[in-house]
Every structure is written in structure tokens, then in C-alpha cells.
Structure 1
Amino acid sequence: MDKLQAMTTFVRVVEAQSFSKAAETLSMPRSSVTTVIKNLETHLGTPLLRRSTRTLSLTDAGARYFASCQAILSDIAEAEIGLSLDATTPRGRVRADMPGLIGRAIVLPRLREFEKRFPDIELVLGLSDRPADLIYDGIDCVIRTGELTDSTLVARRLGQLSWLTCASPGYLKEHGEPDSVSALGAHPVVNYISNATGRPLDWRFNVDGENLTISLQSRFAVNETEAYLQCGLEGLGLIQISRFAAFPYLQTGRLKEVLADARCSPVPISIVYPLGRNATAAIKAFVDWIVEISASAAFQ
């Protein structure tokens, strides 16, 4: 028995004081309404209505059950109205995680705009290079780079990132510029430590159409993008970093790209969130906003 349908039918019969009128408002045959009430009374083990040829009245148990049904159905209606309001005016808390560089460069400068557009959304931002686990960390959405394989997540593409091998002018003056990937073994480099594995990331190149990954020994290694960038600016070694991060320093000449002809293929950057009902209207509103502002972010 569908208890919710039975409650709705019972309340409608009482309010209409008629099985026939209740059947009309419910778009059900009168016989079906009668059957629902009989089955409900059997399930509850007590009569709910006194029936005569002309009138209907509630038993004591029926009166108590009628009041409870009204309260339950009212709560359900209120909950549904609340969700409808959320759909038209997104509200609630959104917890988002993203690389610190992207958050500071793109998101934080436009938070006033977000606040004006979505005044009922509370935003909690995590800025870190550590890869967040949406379930374990209680995160609603994250910005990630690379190909995504988790089929339980919805991915919205923000652009792509190109990875460059760079050095400072001071470094190049002291050590010279490598003329090939094979020459890197003779050069000081700075490694980036993966927060996921705790190990240095491989250096990636494309030589004559073939993708190469190589491991390089380093005296210095860090696990945060802006610290990594600073190592390159200080001339501590070659670095391999996204063009998005390096772009301002390439423009001013504080960094120079080397091995440009061996640059590896770009990787996608996306914002991802849970599939289906776990994604609230507020999460979707935030994701849409991130996609919108990323269009002018020059990810490349």
C-alpha cells in the first residue's frame, strides 16, 4: 500500500465529506477511493470513518489520524515549496576546493560579483594544491586538471593548460639554455612534489610527435605552485609549470621558456561535482558561475 497516497485520499474524503467528490478531485474512480480507505483501515486495524447513506463522520481514532495526516502532508508540501524556491533562488552552503593560484587569480577578485548575484549562497573556499576527496572531505565541487575517469561526477570543461619548461634570465646566464631534452641531465632543476603521491612529478615532453616522461634529480623540491614558481624566479633551477601560472613573468621577462619545440600536449581543466540529486541548485549555480568567469581567464 502506498501510505502517502492513502493519507492523501483519506484527508480528501474527510474534507469533501464524500467519497464521490473526493474521487473527482483526485481523478480516481469512486471504487478506487473506497478500496484505498478500506485497505487503510485494515492496515491500521481500526475504523476511521462512520458511514451512512447521507453523511460521513470520523471515529475518535479517525480524528486523531486525520490531524496527523494533515500535519505530515503539510510538512511535505512545505519541503517541496522550499526546494522550488531553492531552484529559482539558489540558497545554502557550497564548499568548493581549487588550486590556490586559480582561486587567487580568478575567483577571489570576483567574489563581490558572486555575492550580489547569489546573496543566499554561503561559499566556503579551500585553496590548496592538495587533491580533495569530495566524499571524505565533504566537498561539493572541485577544480581539477587532467582527464577525469570518475563516472559518478559531472565535469564541466573550463579550458586547457599548457605546460612550459622555464628558467630565469639569471639561471640562463649562469648555466646556459638546454638545447634538447636529453641535455636536461646536466642542468639543475626544481621538482614539484605531488600532494597525492608524495613523489616528484615526472617531466613531460613531446619530441618528434612522441610523448616522453622523464624523472630528473633535483636539489630542491616543493609541493605548492606559487612556491615552485618562486624557485624558478630565484634561479634555483629549471621548472615545468603551466603557462597560466608563468604568463605574467614571461610577459615581463622574469621567466623565459626553453625547449619550446618539445612542449607536451595541453591538459584539460574542469570543475566537477556529484551526479544526480547530490548536486543542489546552489552547487549548480556556483559551477555555472565558475564556467562563466573562466571564459575570460585565458586558460592555455
Structure 2
Amino acid sequence: MNKLQAMEVFVQVVDAGGFTRAADNMQLPKATVSTLIQSLEATLSVKLLHRTTRQVSVTADGAAYYERCLRILSDVREAEESLSRTRLSPSGRLRVDAPTGLASDVLIPALPDFFTRYPDIQLELGCSDRTIDLIEEGVDCAVRGGVLGDSNLIARRVGILQFVTCATPDYLDRYGRPVHPDELMRHRCVNYFSSRTGKLFDWDFSRDGHRIQVALPGHIAVNDTNAYIAAGLAGLGILQMPNFMMEPMLKDGRFEQLLDDWSTDPLPVHVVYPQNRHLSAKVRVFVEWVAELFSNHPGMRLPKAAPPTRPTPFEVAI
């Protein structure tokens, strides 16, 4: 039995909460994962996991061993990377999750530069507007927009998003152009709801120290960026979206900006990763690359003074 491999498998099983998901995350047969755990328990003469047909949980001995394994594996990786850092670039599979709009409009177009710098990294980029559990799904890090509420994650703030309110010319011809946020109550608006809670997100506006936050009427609500924009293009209502996504469509006339003398609260953007994980070289370089990318993006760079953030979590309409 390879003791280090067995320890890595054990940590993955505990983190994932089961053998099947751990096997998928490590790209190993489930039978191999099960055999390694059994061999590890036999070698240690202790039961590390409680197994039922529905779930796997860690025993008291297993919990203590898990913490030791984390420290040992972290030390091993650090030792390996310290020897290879000067002669090898980071390598291996890197699993990242990002919101759909941010991935398609900002991250993916810039990836040729990333792969030029780090050709030995194999990137798996999950794209959705759903907030995932990084540990359960075996994801190394994620780009997230909004106020963070998960204390189990380490977060680095890498950018902000500014928002624009807009509608199609066809919609404005039919329903008129609002000149004050209060007038939106008489309009149709496309709403966005949380995939996690089902809650509709309020809209906010500020001008000259006066702030308005409202829940707006609408005939449709969605929880996906592409669907949100499609609803707007279909003339179903007014949208509030990040500038970087709407700018091309504002320039070509598909949308027109509204209430441009009012501002909206910026949305912070972070890269997050589990705090009980050693920050590997491939994760480190990806985080640094994202931070650099956003710092050079006119619609996302952080200002010198930290801006206000939305008062409620926003699970990401970006």
C-alpha cells in the first residue's frame, strides 16, 4: 500500500462525504478508493469511517487522523514544490468554477495568455450562476461575485463590478423611458432570483447622497445570465447588468442605457478556496493571474479607496 496515496484518498473521502464522489474527484476507480481505505484501517488497527448505505461519516479516531493527514500532505507538497519551483512550471489538473458571464466575457478570452505562461496546467473551468460547494465537488478555487458569507473559505478580493440599467429600443418605444427610479414601479423589469434561496434580488440606485433600494415588478424572473440577457433582448423588460457585459450591446444599439445620472452599488469579486487546503503552486498562479487580469480590465479594476458593497449576498448575475 502506498501510504501517502492512501492518506490523500482518505482526506478526499472525508471532504467529499463519500467514496463515489472522492473517486470521481481523484479520477480513480471506486474499488481502488475503497481498497485503500480498508488497507489503511487494517494497518492502523482503527476504524476511520462509519459507512452506511446512504452516507459516510468520520469516526473520532478518523477525525484526529484527518487533521494529521492534512498537515503531512501539506508538508510533502511544499517540499516537492520548493525543489521543483526553480526548474519547473506549475502543472497538473486545476478545477475552477466561475459565473457564466464572467467566464465567457473576461476569463476565457484571456486564457491564451494563461496557457502561454503555464503550459503544463490542465484547466477544468465550470461555468454556471450556481454557488457550488468547493470541497464537496472537488473544486480547487472559484471566482465569486457578491458579499461572501462562507467562513470556511479564504477569499482574495480581485475586482469589482459596476452595473448599468438598460432596455431595448423596442421596449422603450412601447412603454416609454423612465427618468427616475421611482418610475420603474410602472414598468416591466426582468428579475434575477437566487438559485440557492429562490429570493428575488432588489435593485439599488444612488445620487447626491440619496439611495433607493426597491423590489421591482416583472412578468419574468430567471437565475441564469444568458437567459437574463435573452429576456431583455426579447423586450420582456428592463435589465440591470454589469457594464462589461452590456457595453458591446449598448454600442451596437441592441440596448439603451437608462437612468445614467444614477449609480448602483458596486459588486465585489473574489477568488475563494478552502482554508484547509495547502495553496498549491497551480492555484497560486491562477489566483495571481486573475488578479492581474482584473486589474487591467477597465470595468473591473479595484479603486484605490474600497467602494461600498451590496448589503445582501448576490449569488451572481454576471
Specify the TM-score bucket, using the shorter chain as the normaliser: 0.5 to 0.7
Are 1:146 and 1:269, in contact at CA under 8 Å, matched by a contact in 2? Answer: yes
Measured after TM superposition, the shift of residue 211 of structure 1 is 3.2
The change in CA–CA distance for 1:277 and 1:128 in structure 2 (over 3 A counts) is closer
State the Cα deviation string for residues 219-266 of structure 1 (Å, max 9, x = none). 122111122112212221111111111111112222112122332221
Partner residue in 2 for 1:282 = 282
Separation in 2, partners of 1:168, 1:256: 6
Are 1:86 and 1:281, in contact at CA under 8 Å, matched by a contact in 2? Answer: no
Measured after TM superposition, the shift of residue 98 of structure 1 is 0.5
Measured after TM superposition, the shift of residue 80 of structure 1 is 6.6
- Tell me, what secondary structure is at the counterpart of 1:130? coil
Partner residue in 2 for 1:242 = 242
The change in CA–CA distance for 1:275 and 1:173 in structure 2 (over 3 A counts) is same
Are 2:187 and 2:217, in contact at CA under 8 Å, matched by a contact in 1? Answer: no
Partner residue in 2 for 1:193 = 193
Q: Which has the higher helix share?
A: 1
- Tell me, what secondary structure is at the counterpart of 1:133? coil
Moved over 6 A (4+): 77-80
Separation in 2, partners of 1:78, 1:202: 48
Superposition pairs of residues 101-116 of structure 1, within 5 angstroms: 101-116=101-116
With normalisation by structure 2, the TM-score equals 0.64
What one-letter code is carried by the residue in structure 2 that aligns with 1:160? I
Provide the aligned length of Structure 1 versus Structure 2.
224
Separation in 2, partners of 1:209, 1:81: 54
- Tell me, what secondary structure is at the counterpart of 1:278? coil
Separation in 1, partners of 2:171, 2:150: 41
**Does residue 83 of the first structure (1) align with residue 78 of the second (2)?**
no
What one-letter code is carried by the residue in structure 1 that aligns with 2:126? G
What one-letter code is carried by the residue in structure 1 that aligns with 2:81? L
Superposition pairs of residues 56-75 of structure 1, within 5 angstroms: none
Are 1:195 and 1:223, in contact at CA under 8 Å, matched by a contact in 2? Answer: yes
Superposition pairs of residues 247-262 of structure 1, within 5 angstroms: 247-262=247-262
Measured after TM superposition, the shift of residue 149 of structure 1 is 4.7
The change in CA–CA distance for 1:131 and 1:86 in structure 2 (over 3 A counts) is farther
Deviates further, 237-246 or 109-118: 109-118
The structure that has the greater radius of gyration is 1
What one-letter code is carried by the residue in structure 1 that aligns with 2:82? S
The change in CA–CA distance for 1:79 and 1:203 in structure 2 (over 3 A counts) is closer
- Tell me, what secondary structure is at the counterpart of 1:260? coil
**Does residue 139 of the first structure (1) align with residue 130 of the second (2)?**
no
The change in CA–CA distance for 1:156 and 1:79 in structure 2 (over 3 A counts) is closer
The change in CA–CA distance for 1:79 and 1:216 in structure 2 (over 3 A counts) is closer
What one-letter code is carried by the residue in structure 2 that aligns with 1:215? A
Deviates further, 275-284 or 90-99: 275-284
Superposition pairs of residues 213-228 of structure 1, within 5 angstroms: 213-228=213-228
Separation in 2, partners of 1:238, 1:79: 51
Partner residue in 1 for 2:291 = 291
The change in CA–CA distance for 1:249 and 1:90 in structure 2 (over 3 A counts) is same
Are 1:190 and 1:232, in contact at CA under 8 Å, matched by a contact in 2? Answer: yes
Partner residue in 1 for 2:121 = 121
Measured after TM superposition, the shift of residue 282 of structure 1 is 1.0
Separation in 2, partners of 1:85, 1:217: 60
Separation in 2, partners of 1:119, 1:265: 38
Separation in 1, partners of 2:270, 2:166: 25
Are 2:91 and 2:120, in contact at CA under 8 Å, matched by a contact in 1? Answer: yes
Deviates further, 204-213 or 137-146: 204-213
Measured after TM superposition, the shift of residue 126 of structure 1 is 0.4
Measured after TM superposition, the shift of residue 113 of structure 1 is 2.9
Give the CA RMSD over aligned residues.
Answer: 2.4
With normalisation by structure 1, the TM-score equals 0.67
- Tell me, what secondary structure is at the counterpart of 1:216? coil
The change in CA–CA distance for 1:233 and 1:227 in structure 2 (over 3 A counts) is same
Are 2:205 and 2:263, in contact at CA under 8 Å, matched by a contact in 1? Answer: yes
The change in CA–CA distance for 1:194 and 1:279 in structure 2 (over 3 A counts) is same
Measured after TM superposition, the shift of residue 276 of structure 1 is 6.6
Measured after TM superposition, the shift of residue 167 of structure 1 is 0.6
Measured after TM superposition, the shift of residue 127 of structure 1 is 0.6
Partner residue in 2 for 1:15 = none
Separation in 1, partners of 2:83, 2:111: 23
The change in CA–CA distance for 1:267 and 1:80 in structure 2 (over 3 A counts) is closer
Separation in 1, partners of 2:98, 2:188: 30
